[in-house]
Structure 1
Amino acid sequence: MLKNICLKFCLAFLLAAGSLWADAHIFNYHRFNDPRHPSTNISNENLREQFDFFKNNGYEVVPLSKLVDALKNGEEIPDKWVVLTVDDGYKSFYENGLPIFIEYGYPFALMVYVEASAKKYGDFMTFEQIKEAAKYGEIGYHSYGHLHMVGLSHDRLKYDFEDGIRIFEKHMGYKPKYFAYPYGEYNDKIRNMSVEYGLEVLLAQNSSAVGTGSDLLELDRTPLMDGTDLKAALAIKFLKADWIMPKDYPKNNKIDEVIIKTEENASFGHFSATGRGTKKVKLQDGTMSVKFKEPIDRYKVRMSLKVNGKTTTKILVKDINAE
């Protein structure tokens, strides 16, 4: 009798622990079966292999809107949820990728580079093709000019949002809710203006996971391409963390200290930064503080902290107009 009670208690504990570790994953594609651009391309063969892995291992590919609604409502995020996004709107998606998505019945969120589609640049989908693709997935926004937004002046940035959203609405008949940061680059200036223009969900390119407490204005996505270790990407767990310092790239363009507060009960973690490798760091009441003897001075810096097998990641980009 006592043994049975113990087994039931242990099982309940494990199930509860599993739910606490539940994390969804948002993956991002660019080009499909287009070997001219290997760094952003996935072949039809590898795409089918990834889709078969999802199907054969119990993963559920859900619309981005379903994940967003769960986050808004504070619901538990199932560990087997996968969201698939496609950036830019390359013609190779329409010709090579879309038929495979339709074959598997997998939804997607396509983020449109508006200028390229509106002006019918040769390598991109037209808005007619985008509207056809919308029968099978959701359509979001990827800026008007696909510029490095962090370095734009306030007026130039505003112009890009105004033009892009106006032309998107003209062709699609509605304003976009989702926005994928071009090049995955952003700061508070970009976030604030995105919200000002009615964009509700902002997608980054930080390789991590999504869990209860994820910021809808900074949802992490992991790029998928030929050679990506899908199992490793799916093994990443979401670390709820507050990046206290710096929030953005410092105005003096020098990163000399990083402070990250987590809710984890751990005495150490592993911190990495572009050009500085990975180091074991101490945590005090869940907080990490790292000071650099030589400040980081790079255009783009990717930093991450891993604690208890969970990861938080952030990209900081210099604002060339900063004083």
Structure 2
Amino acid sequence: MKIIFYLILLLPALLLAHSSQAAVVILYHHVSDTTPKSTSISPAHFEAQMDYLEKNDFKIVPLPELTEKLRKGESLPDKTVAISFDDSYVSVYDSAFPRLKKRGWPFTFFVNTDSVGTGKVFVTWDQLREMSKHGVTIANHTTRHSHLPRREKNETLKQWRTRIAEEISSAQQKIEQEIGRAPNILAYPFGEYDVDVQQIAKELGYIAFGQQSGALYEKGDLQSVPRFPFGGSFTELDDFIMKVNTRSMPTKTVNFYSDKKTPQENLIVKAGAKPWLVLELEDPGLLKKINCFATGQGAITTEIIDNKLWVQVKQPLKSGRTRYNCTAYAGEKGRFFWYTQQWLATDKNGEWSYSD
């Protein structure tokens, strides 16, 4: 009886041991009250989030420090956060930079290089150089911020691959030229990628980040590293607290199926599809604890088959981006395992909508 009693007491610790990786990357675009609400967080909300990190003893580290641990497959420290910004917006220089500089905190600014210095909305290279001198990492967000997985009309696969590789490599060269250095990390524009984009990033030697939610995982795919985006409707402190305290879902394998018998090779589907996400976990005991949700649909179907979790939307996907979010209680109050998978859907004819 004593043995059973002690096992019960140890259960939360045993659950956490299955995934000690708890480092989180957070993402912002604008820090402003006057920029588009969908991509903005107010300075007041931003300060409240930073105050929470400071008061609760989170360690703020440069993103390249975490990516080096990922490259080496090293364990990631608990209660560790890297801060990032996308899209070259001047509000990062005007509003976020002085606030984070005052705290002595590093962050990474992913810039789409063609936009730098082109108007009042965007930073200049002089401003980026100033930020770099104070410990800010300036990193690659491609040249023109295009939807990377989407071929242009009448573009061949070979032409597309050449164009995407050039958009990434040219941005890297420009940053090195203007700043003096550029780490081999990449943020996909719009957070969009598919297996072909991932392969290009891998061939070019990049660790690449999306905008899908989740904590970092030492065994995860280095070309689909998650970040928690904050802005628009995701700015409240309670939501922030939950997300920065998440742990990585301890996935062993991740696969995709168009139906239960047919593997889905890519992350691009046609509108009307209902693709399956299949997760195999390091700890099969977690499978029954997982709940999954989809963008705009709420709770979605989960089935356990041969010790794997099969996840599918109830309603067919519409054109655009859809994410499956899967979470499970991590054995400690307020902490959850989290895994997100993104799908990209064309229209029913296989054509992209270029308006979003």
1:227 aligned to 2:227?
A: no
Q: Counterpart in 1 of 2:208?
A: 202
Question: Cα–Cα, structure 1 residues 176 and 234, in superposed 2: closer, same or farther, change >3 Å?
Answer: closer
Match of 2:267 among 245, 249, 266: 249
Amino acid at match of 1:111: F
CA distance in 2, matches of 1:293, 1:50: 35
Report the Cα offset of residue 222 of structure 1: 0.6
Alpha-carbon separation, structure 1, partners of 2:304 and 2:144: 42
1:193 pairs with 2:193: no
1:170 to 160, 165, 177: 177
Given the superposition, is the C-alpha separation of residues 158 and 19 from structure 1 closer, same or farther in structure 2, using an over 3 Å criterion? same
Secondary structure of the residue aligned to 2:274 is strand
3-state DSSP of counterpart to 2:266: coil
- What secondary structure does 1:89 align onto? coil
Matched, 1:105 2:104: yes
Aligned counterparts of 2:92 and 2:102: Cα–Cα separation in 1: 14
Residues 18-167 of structure 1: pairs in structure 2 closer than 5 A:
18-22=16-20, 23-117=22-116, 119-135=117-133, 136-152=135-151, 153=155, 154=160, 155-167=162-174
Aligned mates of 2:293, 2:305 — CA distance in 1: 18
Q: Match of 2:323? A: 302
Could you report, residue by residue, the CA deviation over 1:167-219 in whole angstroms, capped at 9, with x for unpaired residues?
23322233441110101111112112223333x21011012111332222111
- Taking the aligned partners of 2:146 and 2:226, their CA distance within structure 1 comes to 20
Would you say the 8 A contact 1:149–1:182 is kept in 2? Answer: yes
CA drift at 1:252: 5.2
Q: Which amino acid aligns with 1:255?
A: A
Opposite residue 254 of structure 2, the aligned amino acid is W
Partner of residue 278 from structure 1, selected from 277, 293, 299: 299
Matched residue, 1:312: 339
- The Cα offsets for residues 36-66 of structure 1, whole Å up to 9 and x where unpaired, read as 3222222222222212111111110111122
Q: Which amino acid aligns with 1:305?
A: C
Q: What secondary structure does 1:102 align onto?
A: helix
Please, which runs of 5 or more residues in structure 1 have no aligned partner? none
Task: Say if 1:13 and 1:272 are closer, same or farther in 2 by CA, change over 3 A.
Answer: closer
Q: CA deviation at 1:130?
A: 0.8
What one-letter code is carried by the residue in structure 1 that aligns with 2:106? P
Q: Is the 8 A contact 2:85 2:109 kept in 1?
A: yes
Q: How many Å separate the matches in 2 of 1:144 and 1:115? A: 5
The verdict on how the C-alpha distance between 1:55 and 1:252 changes in structure 2, with shifts beyond 3 A counting, is closer
Distance, in Å, in 1 between the alignment partners of 2:299 and 2:166 is 40
**Structure 1 letter corresponding to 2:294:** A
In the alignment of these two chains, the number of paired residues is 318
Whole-angstrom CA distance in 1 between matches of 2:314 and 2:25:
36
1:213 equivalent in alignment to 2:219? yes
| SS, match of residue 296 in structure 1 | coil
Q: Do 1:141 and 1:178's aligned partners in 2 also have CA atoms closer than 8 Å?
A: yes
Matches of 1:33 and 1:56, distance apart in 2: 23
Which amino acid is the alignment partner of residue 314 of structure 1?
Answer: Q
Check 1:280–1:124 CA distance in 2 against 1; reply closer, same or farther (3 A cut): same
2:261 aligned partner:
none
Three-state SS of the structure 2 residue aligned to 1:145 is: coil
Q: The residue matched to 1:310 in structure 2 has which SS?
A: strand
Q: Name the SS of the counterpart of 1:36 in structure 2.
A: coil
Q: 1:11 to 1:133 in 2, by over 3 A?
A: farther
Q: Residues 7 and 134 from structure 1, CA distance in 2 versus in 1: closer, same or farther, beyond 3 angstroms?
A: farther
Say which is worse superposed, 44-53 or 244-253, in terms of deviation. Answer: 244-253
Q: Which moved more, 1:292-301 or 1:48-57?
A: 292-301
Q: Cα deviations across residues 70-121 of structure 1 (Å, max 9, x unaligned)?
A: 223333222210110011121111111111111111110110110011x533
AA aligned opposite 1:283: I
